[in-house]
Every structure is written in C-alpha cells, then in structure tokens.
Amino acid sequence: MRAVALHADVLLATSAVLQANCVIVRGRAARPDPEPGPLHVIAPDDGPGDETFVIDSPILPEELSALGALVQQARFPAPSGLLATHGDWDHLLGRLAFPDLALGCAHDTAERLQSSPGEAQRELRSFDEELMIDRDRPLSLGALQELPVPGRCELGAQELELHPAPGHTRDGMAVMAGWAGVLICGDYLSTAEIPSLGDGGGAEEYTRTLERLRPLVARSGHVVPGHGPVLGRERALEVLEEDLSYVRSLRERGEAAELPRGRRSRAQRRLHAANAAALL
C-alpha cells in the first residue's frame, strides 16, 4: 500500500490491488484565537475536538491492518466514522479495519445493501478465493448510518459536502472536502478504467453524474477516483470530457462506440462489451 498526503488534513492510501483508493480526512475543531505573546506556538498535530473519517477502503488484509498505524503516524485522532461512496464490496472494507465504527452512506446505498443482504460478503469471498487471500474474520457491515445526500456532514468544525452520484451503480455519492480542495468521487473519472455500468447503473444517470461533478472538479486541487491515480483539476476535466463522449457514444452506437484513449486494453474491451450488453 502506498500512502501520501494530499493536504495537511487529507491522507491517501492506495491498495496494491485494483489501485483502490482510501481517503482519510481530518476535520479540525474550532479553536479560539491565541493570546498574543512571543512564546506562543501552534501545534501541528491534532487537538481536542478534531475528528477523522475514513472514506472507502484498501483491499488486502495487511493494508487494512495498517490503517490505524497510518492515522497515528499522521497524528490524526482515531477515526470516529467510516464513509462509503457506494455499495460495491471493494469500498466497504473499512469495517474490517475499524469494526466498532458505523458505516455512513447515501440512502440509496443503504437501501441497496439492505435489499441484497450478504451480496458484498459473497463477492469478497469469491475475490479472496481466486487470489488465495486469508482474512481473520468475515466482513460485517454492522450499523449503516444514512446520510443526507445531497447535503453536508460535519467533521470537526469543517463540513464534508455530499453529492448524489448514481450511474456506475444505482447508488452512490461523491464527497467534497472543500476546505482542502479534495474531491472523492467514487468510481468515476479514472484513467485506469473506462466508465462502467454496474449493479443497476445506467448511461443516462452516469451522464448526469458527470455533469454534476463538473463544478466540483473545477473547485478541486485533487480529484480522487475509486481506482487509479489522483488527478489534478485540468486532467480531471479532460477525463470527464472523454468519459462523457464515451457514454454518449455508447448510448448511440452500442458496442461500436470508441473507447477513450489510453484505456483500450483487453480488460477494458471486456468491460466495454459488458456495458454494451447492459444497454440492450
């Protein structure tokens, strides 16, 4: 797992598998202005009332086990909540790292997980069996906390903006840490894979979500997709246009649609075929 700081309050942990991105965000508490004086020092680490959320998750057991140490090394407070951008299994594994924390998600994600109990666990088991991965315990989603989407979620004295993001699947949200200039957009805007229409997703919703992301990207310094490299603002806007063009062409031409440049591998062509079949 590779870990980097995107901002003083934002850490990024990228899994060695699937290039899955996990974002750790600290919200600092409001503090009174210090008394003037030549000896005053502002401590760089966390203080009373600071709060940390973990958004999405890495994949491998050792990566999940390392999250707590990563938070400590960054001198962030221990996490008080987990967020998932959507209900695909590879975004839900924070519960394995922090089993006592509630998992926050959009209403449509909670509805999806509750209507298909055990689906995420079965998909994780299948993935683990294929790669011969052993885990200490099975995944339990525990208490799901439904969040207001669109809306805001308090984090210390800051707020995370929550924006609806269906299309890749029938559920989802993008999370904007506005004070840090970081957008966590779930499985959108990736240079590692083409847009995919997964569980209940659709081309029209996907297009609407991309347009909804456009002004958020314009406000961002870093755009974090669910999988693949973090993008700067200009590159993220380029990928957004490429993805819009692909999804529109997919609706019009089906399997004859042209894939985005740089994303035309055999694996991406298989994904494209599945997209075309989903529109039939």
- Please provide the average confidence, as pLDDT, over all residues in the chain: 92
Give the angle 210-25-6 at the CA atoms, nearest 5°. 75
pLDDT at 31: 59
pTM of the model: 0.91
Contact call for residues 160 and 133 (beta carbons, < 8 A): no
pLDDT of res. 48: 58
What's the pLDDT score for residue 34? Answer: 46
Contacts of 254 (CB under 8 A, 6+ apart): 276, 279, 280
How large is the greatest C-alpha to C-alpha distance in the chain, in angstroms? 71
Q: How far apart are CA 117 and CA 14, in angstroms?
A: 28
Assigned CATH topology for domain 2-31+39-278: Metallo-beta-lactamase; Chain A (3.60.15)
Give the percent of the chain with pLDDT over 70.
Answer: 93
Contact call for residues 194 and 206 (beta carbons, < 8 A)? no
List, in sequence order, the alpha helices (H) in 76-158: 94-97, 107-115, 119-131
At 135-156, the pLDDT tens digits run: 999 999 988 999 999 999 999 9
In this predicted structure, what is the pLDDT of residue 36? 47
H or E segment to which residue 45 belongs: none
Residue ranges of the chain with pLDDT lower than 50?
33-44
Q: Which amino acid is at 277?
A: A
| pLDDT for the residue numbered 256 | 95
Spatial neighbors of 177 by CB under 8 A, at least 6 apart, are 7, 9, 10, 25, 158, 160, 183, 184
Distance CA 169, CA 165 (A): 9
User: What span, in angstroms and rounded, lies between the C-alpha atoms of 220 and 236?
Assistant: 9
pLDDT attached to residue 40:
36
Over the stretch 106-133, which tens digit does the pLDDT of each residue have?
999 999 999 999 999 999 999 999 999 9
HSE (side-chain half, CA atoms, 13 Å) at 108: 19
Give SS3 for 103.
strand
